[in-house]
Amino acid sequence: MFFNITPVIDHRFPHNYLLDFATFNCDPGWQQFNINDNVIFAKGYADIQSLEQLANNFYQANTYTGNFCLIKFSNTVEITHNKNRGFPLRFSKNSVTNLFTDADYQSVWADDNIQIDSNWKITTNKVILDTVIPSDSLSIADARNKIFNLLVNDINGFISNNNWSSLKLFCSGGLDTLLLYSLLMYTNTEFDLLTDNHYEYDSFTKINKSVLENNWAYKQIHHWQHSQCIATGSCGDEYFLRGPTVVSIMTAWNNIELSKLLTESVESYHYRHFSKYDIWQTDWNNRELLQQQYPTRKELNQQILNNLLNDHQHWHLGNTLTYTPFKNIEIVKILLQCSVEDLLPQFINGHLTKSLIARVDPDLLKSVSKYKNFNNAENISVLVNHYNNR
């Protein structure tokens, strides 16, 4: 879902549309809609709307969940997207793009939208994001039930409203893709299981290989030249509160020395992965500064949400759409209603994620690797057998 809006053609892109004062340069996979003398380009998916429905209701599109972008060309250029934008956006004097190559571009944060007028004046405006966390406390059991129901409803909505001839799922041997596997099984969703990487080059990916790989998520993405949708565990670490940055801040702020807990948990799922980082000691040493910077738990939680909403991962590539059901800030908001003590087993061992998988089938946990990002495929044959015998 890459593009650059410029006054002239950008030859890094295979598709270039000259539209009055602006040129829309894009990768493959975009759809064009002509509505009331306006041209709207759209790509991606919404959970409960088609792209055509979104284009016909352009100014309401950002109230829907999913992972999509709509760009409207009239006497101005306007960009809208799913609730909580799923891709980065930057601009310079004569460019608005998500394929940026240098530091001259200014960031458009998740709580901004952007518009270009016919004189190429670029303006940004603040939007209100739904980051209010309910004040009620939740037990881990209650949080698990809420998250399970949320994900099941979202997957059912996506499958009902998006007509894919085949959905693929790559399972890495890790917790996030295994959770998605279990949920697709639970909802009786048809999908093809992949356990190996698949990447087909096209003109766009060849020309922009080095730029794409500047984003870590595009070093481990699948790609087909023809139309294809692949489900991914993208955002699973972060939105289930298993990402190192958020875990480190939360524990240090709560006077919990995570590095000490890790040394006592050498058999835990995150032990090897977390041991690679030195942020634990840095945040622990600066915990009083963190506590001064975020005096209340509410302020700390808001900063966590701000970080996650601007942590963009997969946002589609060419004719390959990435289905990312874990890119849902409601998951984080539910977990932030739990006490940090109750969350520690999730931080260290992915306990809540494992319990969600076990709710569908406890035997599936036999297929997960012992450690995150280490010898990932050691038990993948168990999952292949489960899939073949379903």
Does pLDDT of 164 surpass 80?
no
Cβ neighbours for 117, distance < 8 A, ≥ 6 positions apart = 75, 76, 123
What integer pLDDT is reported at residue 154 of this predicted model? Answer: 94
Mean pLDDT of 198-207: 96
Distances (CA, A) of 79 to 225, 233, 289: 26, 27, 38
pLDDT at 193 over 90: yes
**199-218: average pLDDT:** 91
pLDDT of the residue at 201: 96
Could you tell me whether strands 106-107 and 320-323 are parallel, antiparallel, or unpaired per DSSP bridges?
A: unpaired
| Number of neighbours of residue 80 by Cβ within 10 angstroms | 21
Residue type, 30: W
What pLDDT, on a 0 to 100 scale, did the predictor assign at position 102? 72
Closest by alpha carbon to 366, among 356, 351, 381, 347?
381
Tell which residue, 21, 13, 30, 123, has the closest CA to residue 78: 123
Among 302, 329, 372, 337, smallest CA distance to 144 is for: 337
> What is the 3-state composition of the chain as percent helix, strand, coil, each rounded to the nearest 5?
40, 20, 40
The pLDDT tens digits for 263-281 are 999 999 999 999 999 999 9
Helix 351-360 and helix 340-349, axial crossing angle in degrees, nearest 10: 80
Instruction: Tokens for 162, please give them.
Output: 């998006």
- Taking only the tens place, the pLDDT of each residue in 304-336 is 999 999 988 888 999 999 999 999 999 999 999
Domains of the chain: residue spans and CATH: 3-126 (3.60.20.10), 140-388 (3.40.50)
Give me the chain's average pLDDT, please.
94
Mean pLDDT of the 103-119 span: 91
Query: Is the pLDDT score of 103 beyond 80?
Result: no
pLDDT exceeding 70 applies to what percent of the chain? Answer: 99
pLDDT confidence of residue 259: 93
Task: Please tell me the pTM assigned to this model.
Answer: 0.94
Average pLDDT over residues 360-369: 97
For residues 115 and 112, what is the distance between their CA atoms, to the nearest angstrom? 10
Mean pLDDT, residues 72-77: 96
> Comparing 162 with 253, which gets the higher pLDDT?
253
- State mean pLDDT over 71-77: 96
Please give the average per-residue pLDDT across 160-167, as a whole number. 82
pLDDT on residue 217: 82
Q: What is the pLDDT of residue 220?
A: 84
- Helices (H), ranges, 92-139: none
Instruction: Provide the pLDDT for residue 166.
Output: 81
In the chain the first and final C-alpha atoms are separated, in Å, by 34
Can you give the pLDDT at residue 36?
Answer: 92
pLDDT > 80? residue 163: no
Q: Which range (104-108, 149-153, 183-187, 366-370) has the least confidence?
A: 104-108
Residues paired with residue 170 on neighbouring β-strands, in sequence order: 194
